[in-house]
Structure 1
């Protein structure tokens, strides 16, 4: 068929599609893997005949100047089907900048459609693809802002695939960015792709943007993305596009995806499950010759876990030991048909996936395991995977170096970077927490009178008292700098622990004063104006907040809440814990004259 006849055929099919509305809408779920629930669905349109696939369909529409009409038809079909099926979460609609900027494209049509079908605008995400070149950036920005004012969310689709993704990101300030599949495909095996994803995550944190990884097809890709902190995922591995999509995955399906456990609240160590390599195990009845075939088929395979009929690990078979036995005279004849139980290591290190890395490290050093070996990782007693000892020790070393780089040199407590990460992690996972800002009162006068050495000792005392008070509760203690500290509380005992910190510090800090000053409750010192004033003994001001997870988008907003609360606490002469009821960020300043359980709004 000639080129002209093909074009004529496409034009006729396209016209029939537009006139008869023969568009089929498929929905592909986007999951929040941290909560193991659906975030929303991307609507994908299909035509008929030779224009069934979207690339051909939209190319034909563009060629015949029908792009705006086609997009509106696809949009209406998607909204109608989404509402009819009562799908949860958000509806992600693909919109090309070319159609948005088409003068013939009717304004307000999308708003009219959602109103027609009874769908709230805040449940619709307009996906602007980055693959189209846009010459009039200002007009696009103005158009997108119009959508946002109507209540729609904005997403940049295919980030990294086109012309100006980062520029669009900075200008459009989208709620979501969808990373192009190129950077997801085998990202676990590419340092470049991994570093690109890390950069995207950091930029997303700074701009309060949610990242969605699309095109995930392998478990290894999903595992890396989860480890990096990307919680929104889409791809064939999770669910295919369907006219009636899968809404939720059940517990067995999530388990089959082999997702790693959540990062524990103790930021000083992660769980060993993050380093587990999914690797097939062999049954205890396997003959040595068959196990040897496994090693021959995979030259990189160093160890095989041996399990019983309940998939409980009972040993570890090492390549070098089996090879050595088979290489000996008559070794093959003697052991070929014997069970691997004859040669396996019957006392390997077996740990649960939730065991902390530093705990595992202690077990490794205490039992003097060969660094070339692996350890077996289990989930609820069943075999999960293997982790090389070398990788574990390397990761622990990297964590300690990273911790030391960001730690306060005086107290060796985590500094600002780690504090922000601790807060961001909880915000990202929607895990409720309280934040305390601890500040020393009258510290400058004490430092001037008793000297810098005593001042440093007092700061170290406050660090020790705080860590000790929190050691039996899920907390994260950080040192901002100087005499300022922050504590992230994951439990419900924040107020109790803050009162304990005040009590213990006031009692122990008296040791730094002369008996006369302790008896007098303070001392006389010269202020900055050269006037004599009575300075009380050291006291603490603590501001405590419990941020609203839906309203606070980043660590800076949460820290600002705690700072305002701390300022209120400092208005009191003695040590004071100020519990702030305000949970949402604000640009307003703290007003005076509030009660203990109030804070300015």
Structure 2
């Protein structure tokens, strides 16, 4: 054993020379901090600053228990000193817990010394250490729970007996090992593993935390799957003074809000929320039963805490079934509704897209008779019956399909008109771009209709992808003509990007010889040979004057004129029209060419 490291360890323990980094754990559903994991480090600049080296040598020298108590005190002290919100997650190794010399009640004593509510402390038991005496570990964990602490299993899936430990310890949280999060968006096996963990968590009323998130794709997938708690470098790295708010989550929330365009909010779940009184988590079962008896139409009651945050959902049929059983009233009358409520209902923000909510409903096989809880900024807003949600989604899909272009499935003329009219009615400034393919007929004649259709699909894909960066509405008029409604001031930039991306990708449809020559020779309608350039785009962009444009046809006419100006140029061109008022004669969108 390295004597120099032994000396450093002795110094660290004697002088309590450790420091704590905190990494936030976020509640994605509520867009707020769930808590912070405390990560201990050895004396700065020493041989044992790294936690792996520090705890490894402490374990070898059987001083792990001493070291962990020192680290625990440093974490609690600093957590309180920084006045951090949420819960404090403390890593505890089973070896230290089972050490006979490990002082009993020391963690509770430390919380009392530094004024930290034990209910805010989560004891994280790592799953990587093999524990021979499972019964002794269970007894120890039970002791921690009786002291008021919550329990988490760390690194689930990385060790020896994760599922067994889960069933025995009944943790409040399970943290899924980084291996199953890494590129989970690209692995069917990892995705299925996560789904199975979510199902187990629902059955055991356990919260799942996905740790080690480093890519946006991973974050989006776990949200889609229904994992609401997340931790990782993408969100925030461990630091001595961690952020208490996350800019990324705010931007994600803004992204969701902007993607559910304010002019198509019928597709946001908030529109289906029905106001319904909620009950406090301290409400007794008998009082909840009376509420159901008073209103026969009432089937579910949301349960909230002091901050009006939803913590569960109480169902009439479950309560009725319990009270109908022998001694049901005697056993549960005075009990809190927490005992009988569904502790893991589906809770979504009012701005969540209906498509996303629908996927969560079907993926988790929620009972069609139930409700989901809708929140605003993390606080209870109302309930929405699952039947209403699925019915509304079906109606919207049918309506969309009726008016969508069959080739690209983008909204057609009716929807484009509606989008423009809605903005005119609300006096919301916007820009309208008319996009048209140049030299498309000659390309279609030479390369065939199948290639022509493929090019139109490419233009649709490029336009949708580019416009996804901002609040916008993309529609397909017909043929090779598209329209985009932009709500922000970035229309010109995005139009130029559409041109760049399309010119680059459309070259794949030409032969190498035609790409090299920059075009090809073709016969025009008069039977004359002419050189035809590669496919280009003409885009006319207008920003209508809301005081003078009173309908969508006037706005479409402005865009049509601007597009005609753009087509005067041989190469791709964006013509930004300065004229904002309609002319006397207008062109209806249906006839726009």
**Residue 261 of structure 2 contacts residue 471 of structure 2 at CA under 8 Å; is this kept in 1?**
no
Q: Tell me the residue number matched to 2:423.
A: 426
1:299 aligns with 2:292: no
How big is the shift at 1:365?
Answer: 2.6
Matches within 5 A, 1:443-592: 443-587=440-584
Q: Deviations over 1:453-482 (max 9, x none)?
A: 111111111111111111221111110000
Q: Tell me the residue number matched to 1:338.
A: 335
- When structure 1 is superposed on structure 2, of 387-396 and 316-325 the one drifting more is 387-396
Q: Secondary structure at the match of 1:370?
A: coil
Q: Secondary structure at the match of 2:532?
A: strand
User: Counterparts of 1:435 and 1:265 in 2: how far apart (Å)?
Assistant: 17
User: Counterparts of 1:583 and 1:358 in 2: how far apart (Å)?
Assistant: 36
User: Counterparts of 1:412 and 1:266 in 2: how far apart (Å)?
Assistant: 20
Q: Secondary structure at the match of 1:309?
A: coil
How big is the shift at 1:407?
Answer: 0.8
- When structure 1 is superposed on structure 2, of 319-328 and 395-404 the one drifting more is 395-404
Q: Deviations over 1:65-88 (max 9, x none)?
A: xxxxxxxxxxxxxxxxxxxxxxxx
Q: Secondary structure at the match of 1:432?
A: coil
Which ranges of 4 or more aligned residues in structure 1 deviate by more than 6 Å? 260-263
Gaps of 5+ in 2: 1-256, 588-593
How big is the shift at 1:556?
Answer: 1.0
- TM-score normalised to the size of structure 2? 0.54
Q: Tell me the residue number matched to 2:414.
A: 417
Q: Deviations over 1:498-546 (max 9, x none)?
A: 1111111111111111222222222222211222222111111000011
User: Counterparts of 1:519 and 1:263 in 2: how far apart (Å)?
Assistant: 43
User: Counterparts of 1:367 and 1:297 in 2: how far apart (Å)?
Assistant: 32
Q: Tell me the residue number matched to 1:392.
A: 389
User: Counterparts of 1:438 and 1:517 in 2: how far apart (Å)?
Assistant: 24
Q: Secondary structure at the match of 1:533?
A: strand
User: Counterparts of 2:497 and 2:468 in 1: how far apart (Å)?
Assistant: 12
Q: Secondary structure at the match of 2:267?
A: coil
Shift of the 268–479 alpha-carbon distance from structure 1 to 2, 3 Å rule, reads farther
User: Counterparts of 2:306 and 2:535 in 1: how far apart (Å)?
Assistant: 65
Q: Tell me the residue number matched to 2:270.
A: 273
User: Counterparts of 2:374 and 2:551 in 1: how far apart (Å)?
Assistant: 34
User: Counterparts of 1:337 and 1:456 in 2: how far apart (Å)?
Assistant: 68
Shift of the 415–370 alpha-carbon distance from structure 1 to 2, 3 Å rule, reads same
User: Counterparts of 1:543 and 1:312 in 2: how far apart (Å)?
Assistant: 49
How big is the shift at 1:553?
Answer: 1.1
How big is the shift at 1:262?
Answer: 12
- When structure 1 is superposed on structure 2, of 361-370 and 502-511 the one drifting more is 361-370
Q: What is the aligned residue count?
A: 331
Shift of the 382–579 alpha-carbon distance from structure 1 to 2, 3 Å rule, reads same
Q: Tell me the residue number matched to 2:309.
A: 312
Q: Tell me the residue number matched to 1:383.
A: 380
Q: Secondary structure at the match of 1:420?
A: helix
**Residue 268 of structure 2 contacts residue 350 of structure 2 at CA under 8 Å; is this kept in 1?**
yes
1:360 aligns with 2:357: yes
Q: Tell me the residue number matched to 1:439.
A: 436
User: Counterparts of 2:266 and 2:534 in 1: how far apart (Å)?
Assistant: 37
Q: Tell me the residue number matched to 2:233.
A: none
How big is the shift at 1:588?
Answer: 5.9
Matches within 5 A, 1:67-466: 264-265=261-262, 267=264, 270-466=267-463
User: Counterparts of 1:428 and 1:589 in 2: how far apart (Å)?
Assistant: 19
Q: Deviations over 1:346-403 (max 9, x none)?
A: 1111112111111222222333322211111112222211001121111112111211
Q: Tell me the residue number matched to 2:242.
A: none
- When structure 1 is superposed on structure 2, of 470-479 and 536-545 the one drifting more is 470-479
Q: Tell me the residue number matched to 2:63.
A: none
Q: Tell me the residue number matched to 1:190.
A: none
**Residue 435 of structure 2 contacts residue 481 of structure 2 at CA under 8 Å; is this kept in 1?**
yes
**Residue 261 of structure 1 contacts residue 274 of structure 1 at CA under 8 Å; is this kept in 2?**
no
User: Counterparts of 2:265 and 2:494 in 1: how far apart (Å)?
Assistant: 20
Q: Tell me the residue number matched to 2:78.
A: none
User: Counterparts of 2:267 and 2:509 in 1: how far apart (Å)?
Assistant: 38
User: Counterparts of 1:262 and 1:278 in 2: how far apart (Å)?
Assistant: 25
User: Counterparts of 1:380 and 1:510 in 2: how far apart (Å)?
Assistant: 47
Q: Tell me the residue number matched to 2:225.
A: none
Q: Deviations over 1:206-236 (max 9, x none)?
A: xxxxxxxxxxxxxxxxxxxxxxxxxxxxxxx
Q: CA RMSD in A?
A: 2.1
User: Counterparts of 2:526 and 2:268 in 1: how far apart (Å)?
Assistant: 55
**Residue 304 of structure 1 contacts residue 316 of structure 1 at CA under 8 Å; is this kept in 2?**
yes
How big is the shift at 1:311?
Answer: 2.1
Shift of the 589–270 alpha-carbon distance from structure 1 to 2, 3 Å rule, reads closer
Q: Deviations over 1:249-297 (max 9, x none)?
A: xxxxxxxxxxx99972474972111000111111222221121111112
**Residue 284 of structure 1 contacts residue 307 of structure 1 at CA under 8 Å; is this kept in 2?**
yes
Q: Secondary structure at the match of 2:485?
A: strand
User: Counterparts of 2:369 and 2:279 in 1: how far apart (Å)?
Assistant: 20
**Residue 543 of structure 1 contacts residue 568 of structure 1 at CA under 8 Å; is this kept in 2?**
yes
- TM-score normalised to the size of structure 1? 0.53
Shift of the 261–408 alpha-carbon distance from structure 1 to 2, 3 Å rule, reads closer
User: Counterparts of 1:413 and 1:398 in 2: how far apart (Å)?
Assistant: 17
User: Counterparts of 1:588 and 1:348 in 2: how far apart (Å)?
Assistant: 57
Q: Tell me the residue number matched to 2:12.
A: none
